[in-house]
Structure 1
């Protein structure tokens, strides 16, 4: 499938800034089943390209001098293939055990440990079907509601609240897997929403499975309790949102910040 993607992010400020530095993970990952036919990032300032610790194509953006707005537009055409049973077979440069370490956003509390024990009984390894079952239970426990949480909301907070968005579903899934010794990692990217109400900007997970005919990563959309298809575009992987966010940064000055994001995903 070919997806045309346009992702516009605009930060506006009530007072001038003197300095902005941002980490951009806005370039689709180069993988066996995915490549960018064309892609560009438009933004004022200086961009330094680099590859981060997880193999994500990234940029460090710096803007100096007075400015009261930062506008970032990433757009292009991406070719994606259909992964067989959601399997991601790209060769890793490090052990999957890297993705068993809890983070601030995925720390397993007693409530998460109980939830994981109830819905993921096997310790250390499990099957694709069992993990899809976990995703379905998470979707039932945390109702999808736009605006219910923010990017700093932890898996524990989302479970207690009972509402959240795709990143909360992903964080709770990671927390449950880590509690049971199963490698799992966060994925940020885009999805062709078709007729659903969910935003085109999306988050899901890769999890290490041990099926009878396969051992390796399988990509699961927790929000929809389904396997990843060719309707997805993968931007970045990481331990959680903090390490895979499309845009993160700090600023000097600026007063009050207002954020506007518009994402369009159109199949070709």
Structure 2
């Protein structure tokens, strides 16, 4: 599928800033099943490109001098191949054991241990992992604004509400309970007729099956395998290591944020 993507992020401030630094992960990953046809990032300030430890393409954006707005526009077209039951092609640079380490956002507490013990077992195969996604979707209702980017998996499970990143964090945390490698994915999805789309988060989980050993990509929010409607930006241990935009500033007073993401299939 050829996806046309436009992602605009605008920070507004009530007072002038003197300095902004943002870490951007807004370029699609060079994964074997997706090919970038065109892609451009537009910002003010200076951008320096880098590749992080997980193989993500990043840019360090710095803006100096007085400013009261930071506008970031990224977009282009990306061709994504279909996946067989979410199975990702090879090119695994890092050991999957890198993704068995809990983080602040995915650290399991007693509630998650009990939930994971009930809904998944060590060495689980794809069907069982999809069932875990279904259990998470049934326990944490999708509700925009119910949580923050700092909300942990344990907090989301206790609250019983969250968004796609909370679903992903809870899935990772359950996998960590059983030592199953699993990683966070940020990117875009063609929403089609579904309720949740555009900017999105899901997971990759390592499976050992009779006919396949490797990463399987699962959309926890929709309890389905990811496929050619999904464009991958970054992977990491959690949101913090795969966020599209993160940064700090000097000055600025109160901040307001507006984000618009448009994703649609295209023929050109």
Global fold match (TM > 0.5): yes
- Structure 1 distance, partners of 2:86, 2:253, is 45
Q: TM-score, normalised by structure 1?
A: 0.98
| 1:197 positional shift | 2.2
Q: How many residues align?
A: 266
8 Å CA contact 1:31–1:90 kept in 2: the answer is no
The residue number in structure 2 matching 1:244 is 242
For structure 2, the residue ranges without an aligned partner over 5 or more in a row are none
Q: 2:128 aligns with which of 130, 133, 138?
A: 130
The residue number in structure 1 matching 2:103 is 103
The residue number in structure 2 matching 1:161 is 159
The residue number in structure 2 matching 1:44 is 44
| 1:199 positional shift | 3.4
Write out the 4+ residue segments of structure 1 that deviate beyond 2 Å after TM superposition: none
| 1:214 positional shift | 0.7
Which range is displaced more, 207-216 or 84-93? 84-93
8 Å CA contact 2:90–2:214 kept in 1: the answer is no
8 Å CA contact 2:33–2:89 kept in 1: the answer is no
| 1:133 positional shift | 0.5
The residue number in structure 2 matching 1:29 is 29
- Structure 2 distance, partners of 1:69, 1:188, is 25
| 1:249 positional shift | 0.3
For structure 1, the residue ranges without an aligned partner over 5 or more in a row are none
Q: TM-score, normalised by structure 2?
A: 0.98
8 Å CA contact 1:2–1:79 kept in 2: the answer is yes
The residue number in structure 1 matching 2:93 is 93
- Structure 1 distance, partners of 2:126, 2:219, is 12
**Superposed CA RMSD:** 0.7
Cα deviation, 1:57-110, whole Å, max 9, x if unaligned, reads: 100000000000000000100000001111112322221000000000000000
Are residues 1:15 and 2:8 paired?
A: no
The residue number in structure 2 matching 1:147 is 145
